[in-house]
Each structure stands twice: as structure tokens, then as C-alpha cells.
């Protein structure tokens, strides 16, 4: 089971009411990243902050995985350089007796049954 941390809702910051936009592009390098795969879904977390001097005005945590994938007419689909068969199911949005507002556990259980069946 993956530990989950729930953060309380934030009160919007007292910023000026005029809209402002800015674009920023940055590059970072992971020296030896653990690759995300089906067997080992390694996820990193990127923390992005908006600072006003030293005061944090906003912060976002973004989970991401590092992997490579390719579709090739001769070799099919590869994930991190390894061939992988894509398998799917016809999984409807409804949760049976609980209707379309099914709890996430319903979908998780269906995916687990599908995975066990191959």
C-alpha cells in the first residue's frame, strides 16, 4: 500500500486582483533515474513554488515517472527498450449495482481481476 498525505485546503493568497501571466522554461537532469515500469512504478515528485522574495505564495507537487516508449511497425510497442504486449478490456464507466458514481475501489478491484487473468 502506498502512503498518502492529505494536505488541508489553502486560503487563496491576498494578491493584487489584476491578472498576470509569465512563461518559464527550465531544464533539470536526473543523474541515474529509476525508470517507471509496470513492475516497478517509480514516481518522483516535482515541487514548484512561486516566491515573493522569500515568502512562498503558491506551491504545487507534481508526481512524474521517467520512462521511454516507442511504437514500431516491426518491433511493436517497447517500454524502456523492452517489448511489451498491450492488453485491454472493455471496462464501462458504471460500477454495477452502485451505478456510475462508483467508488475508486470498484475500478481498482476490476483492474486487479483483469491483471490476474493475464
pLDDT tens for each residue of 63-117:
999 999 999 999 899 999 999 988 776 766 666 676 677 677 777 777 787 778 7
- 2: Cβ–Cβ under 8 A, 6 or more apart, which residues? none
Show the cell assigned to 22: 509569465
Predicted model pTM = 0.55
Distance between CA atoms of 49 and 35, rounded to whole angstroms? 25
With contact defined as beta carbons under 8 Å apart, do 95 and 103 qualify? yes
Quick: pLDDT tens for 21-74.
667 777 888 888 999 998 999 999 988 888 888 888 888 899 999 999 999 999
Q: How many CB atoms lie within 10 A of CB 25?
A: 4
Query: Residue with C-alpha cell 501571466?
Result: 21
CA–CA gap between residue 36 and residue 43 (Å, rounded): 7
Amino acid at each position: 500500500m502506498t502512503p498518502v498525505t492529505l494536505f488541508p485546503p489553502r486560503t487563496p493568497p491576498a494578491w493584487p486582483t489584476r491578472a498576470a501571466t509569465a512563461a518559464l522554461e527550465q531544464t533539470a537532469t536526473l543523474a541515474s533515474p529509476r525508470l517507471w515500469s509496470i513492475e516497478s512504478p517509480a514516481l518522483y515528485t516535482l515541487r514548484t513554488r512561486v516566491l515573493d522574495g522569500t515568502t512562498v505564495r503558491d506551491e504545487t507537487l507534481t508526481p512524474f515517472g521517467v520512462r521511454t516508449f516507442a511504437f514500431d511497425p516491426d518491433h511493436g510497442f517497447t517500454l524502456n527498450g523492452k517489448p511489451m504486449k498491450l492488453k485491454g478490456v472493455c471496462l464501462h464507466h458504471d460500477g454495477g449495482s452502485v451505478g456510475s458514481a462508483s467508488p475508486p475501489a470498484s475500478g481498482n478491484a476490476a483492474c486487479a481481476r483483469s491483471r490476474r487473468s493475464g
